[in-house]
Structure 1
Amino acid sequence: MTGSVHISQHPVVATKLSQLREASQSSKATRGLVHDLATLLSYEASVDLALTHEKTLMSPYEPFQSSELKQRIALVPVLRSGLSLVDGFLAMFPEAPILHLGLYREKSKPGLAQLQKEHPEVQIYFAGVDENLDGNGFIRPGLGDIGDRLMNTAF
């Protein structure tokens, strides 16, 4: 992976990802784990954001220069499963506008490599990356159909 791809090494992220992979998790537990992972990843993904110190505010004792994010942050979940990440990211960025992106998924292992090649300036953060595809194009060990698990629509 190049410098634009960041795979979390945090032990809490690894633990929650393992719990999320467990097939017996209810939809409620799955949503909670995705929320937790989104909150943790929003923290990791924002570590290098630039700050500005333009405002002078007043503490109970004296004036101080406030710290604020320099750039605006927008949340752009990929429909439908990406919507489950929004609340976790809003915990970190409560004023962020929410935009939506619809994509059609094709079975493709080199998708990440292609994204890196075409947009090397984009920083991508993952809880984990599964390298294996089975004969049907499903990621292994994977999360199963995470959309169905989140929305409780697997019948």
Structure 2
Amino acid sequence: MSNVHVSNHPLVAHKLSLLRSVDTEPKKFREVVRELAILLTYEATQDLATRQIEVQTPLAKTSGAHLEQKIGLVPILRAGLGMVEGVWELMPSSEVWHIGLYRDERTLRPVEYYNKLPLEPTVSVCLILDPMLATGGSAVATMDVLKRWGAKKIKFVGLIGAPEGIAEVQKHHPDVPIYLAAIDERLNENGYIVPGLGDAGDRQFGTA
């Protein structure tokens, strides 16, 4: 699939197995989500622009790099919240803008209930954070919102994707790259990824 990047890093595979296990308790689940967010964001940000700067070390002056672009983190509530802390560790100056969507269990379509974006874009690159790319409805809706806002560069960072959700994103937003730890087999009749890991929000917050 073009514009879809699936990590082949051994640490990602190991930590994803921990997430999948039904025996992983919420505290450990949250920790692993944070760790995977760090690993996947590292891969998703390899093309960020930098400018050359001069750095004084204890021994001499040398050339260095300074991150040129302002980054916006856009977690899709509520499951995406668990990924923010990890990404913030990598890029503590990132802005965080929340977009609240829930999936109507009857239609499987997203319903927006929260959006506090400022009037004008304040960042150069938006990273949408959501553990599960299932039907793709929430991801597409978030990309729609960000593009109407004026965002020029958007990337999606998730943990697991279903072929159906990936196809939906590529249909509506083929310019948005997708970064995942794995692509699973399919969606079930209730719109959950199989084999997946269950409901990422419930498992993070202990509400299953």
Q: Does the pair score TM above 0.5? A: yes
SS at match of 1:135: coil
Deviation, 1:89, is 0.5
Higher strand share: 2
Match of 2:68 in 1: 70
- Alignment partner of 1:133 is 2:187: yes
- Give the secondary-structure state (helix, strand or coil) at the position aligned to 2:179: strand
1:113 maps to amino acid: A
Aligned length: 152
Q: Structure 2 counterpart of 1:15, which letter?
A: H
CA drift at 1:8: 0.8
Q: TM-score by structure 2 length? A: 0.68
Where does structure 1 lack aligned partners over 5 or more consecutive residues?
none
1:57 corresponds to 2:111: no
Distance 2:28 2:48 in 1: 31
TM-score normalised per structure 1: 0.89
**Structure 1: how far apart are the matches of 2:42 and 2:9?**
11
2:66 equivalent to 1:12: no
Check conservation: 2:73, 2:94, Cα contact below 8 A: yes
Q: Which runs of 5+ in 2 are unaligned?
A: 109-133, 136-162
Distance 1:124 1:136 in 2: 23
Q: Does 1:97 align with 2:151?
A: no
Instruction: Give 1:102 deviation, angstroms.
Output: 1.8
| Structure 1 position 64, deviation (Å) | 2.3
Within 5 A, what are the aligned runs for 1:30-49?
30-49=29-48
Structure 1 residue 49 displacement after superposition:
1.8
The CA deviation at 1:110 is 2.8
Which residue number in structure 1 is paired with residue 81 of structure 2? 83
Q: Could you say what the CA RMSD is over the residues aligned between the two structures, in angstroms?
A: 1.6
Alignment identity in percent? 47
Kept in 1, the 8 Å contact 2:164–2:187? The answer is no
Higher relative contact order (CA 8 A, sep 6+): 1
Matched, 1:151 2:205: yes
